[in-house]
Structure 1
């Protein structure tokens, strides 16, 4: 058997091996990795604290009474596909001058390198966004303090974004309370 015949015989085996290797990446990324990146956090809602002294300049943002939490906006996490999903509520809360994003009783698909964005878009894409940092957990209830001076008038949604695959895992369109 000539060398050329051996190469022709091996070609289907090599091509088949490359195809299997190519399929292993998405199966691992979307089928196996999410099983290992699940986590749960159960954190209480933020505790109201006193308003600051009157010497501090008033802000343009609404100020809630210091002894209560006001819901400024809320939305429900959405299922995008079988591997990109979320359920539960997201709330923007205010207590005095402090504001928070709260994830309430959520279940979010596992993925690597997930981040929480406040977006100016309502289609699930980040658009012009404020990065609140890594997602703290895929399940449970937890809070993110919002930056002081953040203007909420342009915030339309909360997006959970997978930086590793540059894809939205889930999002919630916000409606004013």
Structure 2
């Protein structure tokens, strides 16, 4: 009888331990995020039509004004790191002087605590590139709003683009890059 009771207590303790470990693992890894995508489709600013100005004299030909709209400052294709990642990253300067990072056609795995980082580290393909982005200077542009789609992030005025060489989809919880793109200046 005593032996049966101690077995029950042991099994109850083991079940409680398994539940606690499962709850902690679920909170840390958030495996349910792998089951769905968060799609974000934001409009990306494009150059407007080029306006013609009237000729100063009847014999002069019309002149073309400068195009209106954003100017691409840098761009690069995303490469996979910890998880398959595709798309392009572009830095645009808007008409008002503000700068934005645009992630076009992003497709990566949904994960916990993903952020968009501008960094001074090179993009290295394969597993060697997974952990390099927090080794140098980096600026977080905020949480990744969706793991699929097109989205844009404001770049703070104080960021010197001459010092930025890449963008990373960075998992802050596990300190690993899901994917990254070199930002080649235009």
Q: Does TM, scored on the shorter chain, surpass 0.5?
A: yes
2:74 maps to 73
Q: 1:128 to 1:86 in 2, by over 3 A?
A: same
Aligned 1:92-111 pairs, distance under 5 A: 92-96=91-95, 97-111=97-111
- TM-fit CA distance, 1:149: 3.5
Asked if 1:147 is matched to 2:148, the reply is no
Give the Cα–Cα distance (whole angstroms) in 2 for the partners of residues 141 and 80 of structure 1: 20
- TM-fit CA distance, 1:47: 6.1
Q: TM-score, normalised by structure 1?
A: 0.69
- SS of the residue corresponding to residue 34 of structure 2 reads helix
Q: TM-score, normalised by structure 2?
A: 0.66
2:9 maps to none
**Would you identify which runs of 4 or more consecutive aligned residues in structure 1 move more than 3 Å?**
21-33
- TM-fit CA distance, 1:150: 2.1
- SS of the residue corresponding to residue 45 of structure 1 reads coil
- SS of the residue corresponding to residue 35 of structure 2 reads helix
| Contact 1:132/1:144 (<8 A) preserved | yes
Which blocks of at least 5 consecutive residues in structure 1 are unaligned?
4-17, 50-64
Aligned Cα root-mean-square deviation (Å): 3.2
Q: 1:66 to 1:151 in 2, by over 3 A?
A: farther
Structure of larger gyration radius: 2
1:134 maps to 143
1:87 maps to 86
Please say which of residues 27-36 and 93-102 is displaced more in the overlay: 27-36
Which blocks of at least 5 consecutive residues in structure 2 are unaligned?
4-16, 49-65, 123-128
Give the Cα–Cα distance (whole angstroms) in 1 for the partners of residues 167 and 179 of structure 2: 9
